Amino acid sequence: MNNEDAQKLAIMEQDVRISRAMSTIKHKIVVMSGKGGVGKSTVTVKLAEEFTRNGYRVCVLDADVHGPDIPKMMRVREPEITLTGNLINPIPTPVGATVMSIEFFLPSEDTPVIWRGPKKTGAIRQLLSDVNWEGIDVLIVDNPPGTGDEPLTVLQSIPAIDGVIIVTTAQEVSVHDVEKCINMVNQLKIPIMGIIENMSYLQCPECGKRIFLFGKDGGKYLANKFDLQFLGGIPFEKGISGDKSSASSYINTGMVKIFNKVEKYLKDGGVN
């Protein structure tokens, strides 16, 4: 057997391990965006919190190799890596969900990941195959922005994805990049649950007026253009998680409505 054939065989064997490892997960959701800075990871964390509050056993997979911020956003401090057999157990978080991230295997939080494509995709696939996914109702994957190696690896490697949630802002550049993201997912024939417009508006704390800093209705435009469900808009907030301010209460109200639509999608078997 030559090196090329050996490599193909190793990939096939890993595909089998991934399929077996993830076979017990009831629902798999991938959160994506066309560009960075739109609050995709914030949406991922808050969606995980809503699922947890409603009795689901949730794990968030941080697939952003270069910017693994999910552990910090879920307030994980000094994680302890444990094993079940040869499989790595996801790390518990104060919000109730568990999380798995490449950051847990770096020397320190500020260690840069200076890897090229094959090493990045290999790391993601190893997490998929070597983590203990037993007992998880909902896996939410926080994909890095764009349509490159890492998002493609996630979409092609995870079996039976229930659907993708696309996060955008109303900003013209974000909408433009998200169109590419939607086309990518459609080409891979993976269902899209819907569009979330993040940072839709800033609510004045004095008069309550809504200020649309990035424009208006970019998410609805995308939903109409691609015949997708508009899951909802989320205003600016002061903090990323656990904020007790009025801004956070607006966010939570928006996320509850979005969660209800996502849960209905899952219960209806993928029908919007």
* CB burial of residue 102 (10 Å; 0-12, 13-18, 19+): buried
Q: Taking Cα atoms as reference points, which of 223, 161, 180, 167 lies closest to residue 30?
A: 161
Angular region, 135: left φ>0, alpha ψ -120 to 50, beta rest: left
CA distances from 82 to 26, 90, 92, 98, 100 (A): 23, 8, 11, 13, 12
Cα(62)–Cα(215) distance, integer angstroms: 30
Q: What residues are designated binding site for ATP?
A: 34-41
Amino acid at 182: I
Q: What residues are designated binding site?
A: 34-41
Cα(226)–Cα(138) distance, integer angstroms: 26
What's the gap between Cα 80 and its chain centre?
23
Cα(255)–Cα(124) distance, integer angstroms: 28
Q: What is the rounded radius of gyration, in angstroms, for the C-alpha atoms of the chain?
A: 19
